């Protein structure tokens, strides 16, 4: 549901004051408006944010951050009503209206026409050409991501697949293990896990980082699914749970097809997470939008676009523009499926698939450094190495940069 984000005008909120009554007072000249106000984040999420914020400030003492303890939201199905509320608060005494932001969260398609593949069929490995494109074998030779956490923030995973590692978690760090729209369809999250963690055995395929440590954080908490506070909490608890230099993969987008950081609130949350030392990989989204770095802002995440099946250009639905840092295969990607513990699929598509590949690349880089006994890269360093040591793919959208582990490891001297 669309929401209006408000910030308390005073420096510190007075816990004894009823904020709903304060808002009603600010709107006394518009009695027809009776919006319900609530904090952006619950108390535990504020505590997680503050812990990450303290770390970010130590790393970047010159940067300013928002104190979300003073941020509130009003949700309404009508954008026009939210606009009327914002107009009525133009000269507020207590609340400053910041922005009307898009519907809380949308989800990537579940791949219509999904067909299970026999794990013994050669075509499954044919659909893992992305491993050769990124030279994943270079990472496999350097530990395969061993010791590096990769936390997948989304919804719904089948954790009993035979090609997943034995150390899969029993469930998510936050939220519930439920599928699309909090239902039973766990295809999306399961396919992401396969791209990352499929085991190097005699069946199926192989993940980009089969020896990394898988973790999960779910945006499914209650009804309706994907409320702003639930999504933000899932991000914060995921970031707080992993060490500095480890990887958080975001596998959600706004319903209008923009990446989360297109919106001010989430961009600020992600900026704190990145500045705290967590490597964030974020899909650009699947609606053909143009994302300009200067106009969009930059949280510090690695934003990923999707290439077509032959990796010769952009997969048409993928968002594009200068904010997109790098690109990976986003069409007909081979991975596991959730329809049975032995099911595989050959049609995982979009920036979801591409981001899973790049999250694997990021974890492989950090794992390679650990394998060599060297310190992990800071998020901004990793992004720079990844982008500067990519393969350039000429296209009508300009040169698209595809990560390459061999080039990165050579640049790092390992």
What is the predicted pLDDT for the residue at 165?
A: 96
Count other C-beta atoms under 10 Å from residue 313's C-beta: 15
Distance, in Å, from the CA atom of 268 to the CA atom of 182, rounded to the nearest integer, reads 27
Residue with token string 């209008």: 256
For 104, phi then psi, to 5°, come to -55, -55
Range 400-404, long-range pairs (CB < 8 A, 24+ positions) = 400/305, 400/307, 400/313, 400/314, 400/327, 401/325, 401/326, 401/327, 402/133, 402/134, 402/307, 402/311, 402/326, 402/327, 402/328, 403/134, 403/326, 403/328, 403/358, 403/361, 404/133, 404/134, 404/135
> Nearest Cα to 95, choosing from 77, 75, 70, 78?
70
pLDDT digits (tens, 9 = 90+) for 124-165: 777 899 999 999 999 999 999 999 999 999 988 999 999 999
Eight-state DSSP code of residue 95: E
pLDDT digits (tens, 9 = 90+) for 340-357: 898 898 889 999 999 999
What is the predicted pLDDT for the residue at 292?
A: 93
Between vectors from CA 293 to CA 289 and to CA 295, what angle results, nearest 5°? 80
Write out residues in the chain with pLDDT < 50, as ranges.
Answer: 109
The secondary structure of 271-325 as a DSSP string is HHHHHTT-EEEEE--SS--B--HHHH---S-EEEEEE-TTSSSB-TTS-BSTT--
Angle between helices 43-59 and 228-241 (to 10 degrees): 50
What is the predicted pLDDT for the residue at 117?
A: 63
Count other C-beta atoms under 10 Å from residue 180's C-beta: 20
Residue with token string 């709903």: 20
Task: Report the half-sphere exposure of 33 (CA within 13 A, side-chain side).
Answer: 25
Order of strands across the sheet with 37-39? 37-39, 71-75, 3-8, 95-101
Q: Classify domain 116-412 by CATH number.
A: 3.40.50.200
C-alpha to C-alpha distances, 197 to 168, 334, 377, nearest whole angstrom: 10, 13, 22
Distance, in Å, from the CA atom of 305 to the CA atom of 295, rounded to the nearest integer, reads 18
What is the predicted pLDDT for the residue at 372?
A: 98
> Nearest Cα to 329, choosing from 345, 348, 303?
348
For 410, phi then psi, to 5°, come to -65, -45
What is the predicted pLDDT for the residue at 67?
A: 84
- The whole model's pTM is what? 0.94
Domain ranges of the chain: 3-101, 116-412
């Amino acid at each position: 549901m669309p929401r209006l984000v408000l910030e308390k005008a005073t420096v510190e909120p007075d816990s004894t004051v009823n904020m709903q009554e304060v808002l009603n007072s600010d709107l006394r000249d518009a009695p027809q408006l009776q919006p319900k106000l609530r904090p952006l984040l619950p108390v535990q999420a504020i505590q997680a944010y503050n812990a990450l914020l303290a770390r970010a400030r130590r790393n970047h003492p010159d940067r300013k951050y928002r104190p979300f303890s003073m941020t509130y939201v009003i949700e309404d199905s009508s954008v026009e009503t939210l606009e009327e509320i914002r107009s009525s608060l133009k000269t507020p005494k207590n609340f400053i209206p910041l922005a009307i932001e898009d519907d809380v969260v949308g989800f990537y398609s579940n791949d219509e026409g999904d067909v299970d593949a026999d794990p013994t069929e050669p075509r499954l490995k044919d659909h893992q050409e992305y491993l050769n494109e990124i030279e994943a074998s270079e990472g496999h030779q350097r530990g395969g991501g061993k010791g590096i956490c990769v936390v997948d923030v989304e919804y719904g995973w089948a954790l009993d697949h035979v090609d997943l590692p034995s150390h899969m978690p029993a469930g998510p760090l936050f939220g519930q293990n439920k599928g699309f729209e909090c239902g039973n369809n766990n295809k999306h999250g399961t396919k992401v896990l396969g791209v990352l963690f499929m085991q190097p055995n005699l069946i199926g395929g192989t993940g980009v980082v089969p020896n990394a440590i898988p973790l999960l954080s779910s945006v499914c908490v209650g009804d309706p699914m994907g409320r702003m506070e639930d999504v933000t909490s899932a991000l914060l608890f995921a970031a707080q749970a992993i060490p500095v230099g480890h990887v958080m993969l975001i596998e959600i987008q706004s319903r209008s097809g923009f990446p989360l950081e297109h919106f001010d609130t989430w961009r600020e949350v992600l900026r704190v997470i990145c500045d705290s030392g967590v490597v964030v990989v974020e899909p650009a989204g699947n609606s053909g939008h143009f994302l300009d770095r200067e106009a969009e802002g930059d949280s510090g995440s690695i934003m990923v676009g999707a290439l077509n099946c032959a990796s010769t250009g952009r997969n048409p639905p993928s968002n594009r523009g200068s904010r997109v840092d790098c690109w990976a295969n986003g069409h007909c990607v081979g991975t596991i499926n959730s329809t049975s513990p032995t099911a595989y699929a050959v049609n995982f598509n979009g920036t979801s698939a591409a981001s899973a590949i790049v999250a694997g690349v990021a974890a492989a880089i950090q794992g390679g450094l650990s394998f060599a006994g060297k310190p992990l890269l800071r998020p901004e360093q990793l992004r720079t190495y990844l982008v500067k040591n990519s393969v350039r793919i000429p296209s009508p959208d300009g040169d698209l940069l595809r990560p390459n582990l061999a080039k990165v490891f050579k640049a790092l001297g390992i």
